[in-house]
Amino acid sequence: MRFLILLAFLVGCGSTSTSAKRARPTTGGIAGLAHDHDSRDPVAKAQIRVRASEHAPPRTTLSSDRGLYDIQLLAPGRYTVTALFAGQPIEIRNVEVRAGEITMVDLMFTLGRPEPIRLDYDAPAGSEIDRYRPRHLTGAVALIEGTVNDTTTRQRVPGAVVTAVHGDDIASTQQTVSDEQGRYRFEALRPGVYSISAYYSISGRGQIEVRRSGITVDAAEAVVVPLWIEMTR
């Protein structure tokens, strides 16, 4: 009898465990990087607020010393993200949060030019190439960085293989993998003209790839190249 009771208890525990594993997440989050447009240096201690509506209580946090922030346990829906640093406010509207997903929203301040910045997250996906000159780069090297994004959901794509090719010199090919926030970075590059590509493997569908060519990188320059992959085709 004691054996039957123990067996029933173990079966019950197994059933509960299986049910817990199958439980779907009911909340999502918003995370990203606060940094300066000109230097790309991280902005620490930026005041960040996330609000579902004007009447809803906000969730607040500060960016870390590395400029990172992360607000979890948000109910699915649309949010407004506001940030403040050195007197400059940033407002990004219509940020969609989905259950079980983290929506990446980077905050780019223009330090020294404290005009308010207001953006709509629903605006068409940006593919503009941006440039800046980091203080630590010498005249002999350059760098290329950016993010890999899904064209449909606007979500970042971690785990994409990103390749940089200098001109037609296949021997100079460099590869990296986008990190958990969908970012990639190539450092210590030779100045010149590059092609940047990214591919992502999906089971049963093969590889999805995007390529951008003819990207000129000058000495001591950093070039930001966003890559957009159509994950749902």
Contact 229, 148 (CB under 8 A): yes
List the Cα angle 179/24/154 in 5-degree steps: 40
At 104, list the tokens.
Answer: 């990446």
Lowest mean pLDDT among 19-28, 124-133, 212-221, 223-232: 19-28
pLDDT of residue 124: 63
What burial class does residue 182 get, using C-beta atoms within 10 Å of its C-beta: 0-12 exposed, 13-18 middle, 19+ buried?
A: buried
What are the chain's domains?
28-120 (2.60.40.1120), 130-229 (2.60.40.10)
DSSP string, 98-118: -TT-EEE--EEE-TT----EE
pLDDT interval class at 104 (50, 70, 90):
very high
More confident residue, 53 or 83: 83
- pLDDT tens, position by position, 169-210: 878 899 999 999 999 999 989 999 999 999 998 776 667 889
List the Cα angle 54/100/49 in 5-degree steps: 30
Quote the distance between the C-alpha of residue 6 and its chain's center: 49
At 157, list the tokens.
Answer: 């794509």
pLDDT of residue 1: 45
Contact 156, 181 (CB under 8 A): yes
> Is the pLDDT score of 125 beyond 70?
no
pLDDT of residue 4: 40
At 175, list the tokens.
Answer: 């590869």
> Is the pLDDT score of 24 beyond 90?
no
More confident residue, 110 or 27: 27
> Is the pLDDT score of 87 beyond 80?
yes
